Amino acid sequence: MVADCLDKVGVRANVMDPRIRPLYPEARMAGFASTVHAVEVDSPPANRDDYYRGELQAVDALRPGDIMIVSTVRGSYWGELLATASRYRGARGIVVDGYTRDTLQLIEMGFPTFVAGINAHDSLGRIDVDAVGVPIECGGVHVEQGDLVLADFDGVVVVPSAVADEVITLSEEKVSGENLVRSKLAEGMPVWDAFRTYGVI
């Protein structure tokens, strides 16, 4: 529905690629993007004090209502302990165009986790974070810090902050229209007549 309203305002490419899926069907979230730029590396940092530095700082930077959005990367970025820390900070979930592990624990704790897949590898020496709060690409969508993010079993939608108010208003109107059309269709009204009458389908 929100994706339909984005189409109406001319933003036609802000639904993430279908490879980004929730770990469990009931996962859903709405919040504001806290962006993380991840890069692939081939060895751990020379200094042990730098292990996981960027990844951990990204979690510590989360605020209530945030959804962490991580750029496209091959590798496992997420796990149960980071989710536990994120939940304490008020984060509403995470979207990673990459992989996670600790999946059963994440499902048990009900932390909304949307990823491209599952992989048991540790991130240390494979993935690093070189920036937070910067524009990134995730799931084929350009995401900026503070963009509105909505996700459920159908997928992940990113609403640019510049059009968020307009899209929310249009979405509320669409919900009202769909509720009316649903009742008419349940009463037997032909679909074509319903669309011509109410402009919703």
Q: What is the pLDDT of residues 41-52, one digit of tens each?
A: 999 888 988 889
| Per-residue pLDDT, 198 | 83
All residue ranges of the chain with pLDDT < 70 are: none
pTM of the model: 0.90
pLDDT, residue 180, reads 86
Number of domains observed in the structure of the chain: 2
pLDDT score recorded for residue 187: 92
25/83 same-domain check: yes
pLDDT for position 189? 85
Residues 51 and 124 sit within 8 Å (Cβ to Cβ): yes
Which CATH number is 66's domain given?
3.50.30.40
Q: Which two tokens stand for residue 72?
A: 């496209």
pLDDT at 25: 97
CA distance linking residue 112 with residue 26, whole number of Å: 9
Same domain for 30 and 114?
A: yes
Using alpha carbons, list the distances in angstroms from residue 107 to 23, 25, 95. Answer: 7, 10, 15
130 shares its domain with 54: yes
What does the pLDDT read at residue 134? 98
168 shares a domain with 155: no
